[in-house]
Amino acid sequence: MLVEAIEDSTGIKAIALRYLALREHSQQELLAKIQAKGFTRQAIGPVLAELCRQGWQSDARYAESYARHRIRKGFGPQAIRYELRQNGVLDVDLDSILADVADSWLAQMAQVYAKKYRAAPNGVAGPLSKTEWAKRSRFLLQRGFPADLLPALLNHLNITLTSI
């Protein structure tokens, strides 16, 4: 029985290290992937705890890596925070990680906006109807940018709203 437990832990550790060599993983992700290989949760738990203590696995490192990736894809802080929670990252200060990773959420939002809605050649966006701005705002909100940055984006891009 003891030999079987040692073999299980050695196999679990090898699988986990293989996954971690490819990219950062959250503990929850590793647990699910290793369980899919046929190991029990009770056998996996102590091995993952040991990998955390040794620094091989870190939810904070995973959160930072994941946040950088999602920012490059054009997502805002609310979407990234939600996705990290879904991936099992609960005991990490996500606000400080997101603040460290993103220089300015306004600049990030302006970049996403400019990519989606091509700006005028002179850089001034010009007038927009309120319905068109509402449509564009919804796009930015669905990407996870906070609603309180929308007025700042209007000012930043020199957009004026018309009633038409």
* pLDDT per residue of the chain (164 residues) written in tens, 0 to 9: 444 555 688 999 999 999 999 999 999 999 999 999 999 999 999 999 999 999 999 999 999 999 999 999 999 999 999 999 999 998 888 888 888 888 789 999 999 999 998 765 444 566 888 999 999 999 999 999 999 999 999 999 888 888 76
- Do both 97 and 111 map to the same domain? no
- Do both 44 and 78 map to the same domain? no
Looking up residue 10, the CATH number of its domain turns out to be 1.10.10
pLDDT of residue 74: 94
- Across-strand partners of 159? 126
Q: Which residue range forms the structural domain that includes residue 12?
A: 2-53
pLDDT of residue 1: 44
Rounded Cα gap, residues 164 and 162, in angstroms: 6
pLDDT of residue 6: 57
- Do both 109 and 158 map to the same domain? yes
pLDDT of residue 51: 95
- Do both 109 and 157 map to the same domain? yes
- Do both 35 and 83 map to the same domain? no
- Do both 82 and 39 map to the same domain? no
pLDDT of residue 54: 95
Q: Which residues contact 89 (CB under 8 A, 6 or more apart)?
A: 26, 28, 59, 62, 63, 66
pTM of this structure: 0.84
- Do both 84 and 45 map to the same domain? no
pLDDT of residue 2: 42
90: which 2 tokens? 């609960």
Rounded Cα gap, residues 70 and 75, in angstroms: 6
pLDDT of residue 146: 95
The tally of domains found in the chain comes to: 3
- Do both 110 and 158 map to the same domain? yes
Rounded Cα gap, residues 142 and 133, in angstroms: 14
Rounded Cα gap, residues 77 and 99, in angstroms: 9
Strands 126-129, 159-162: pairing kind = parallel
> Taking the mean position of all CA atoms in its chain, how far away is CA 35?
24
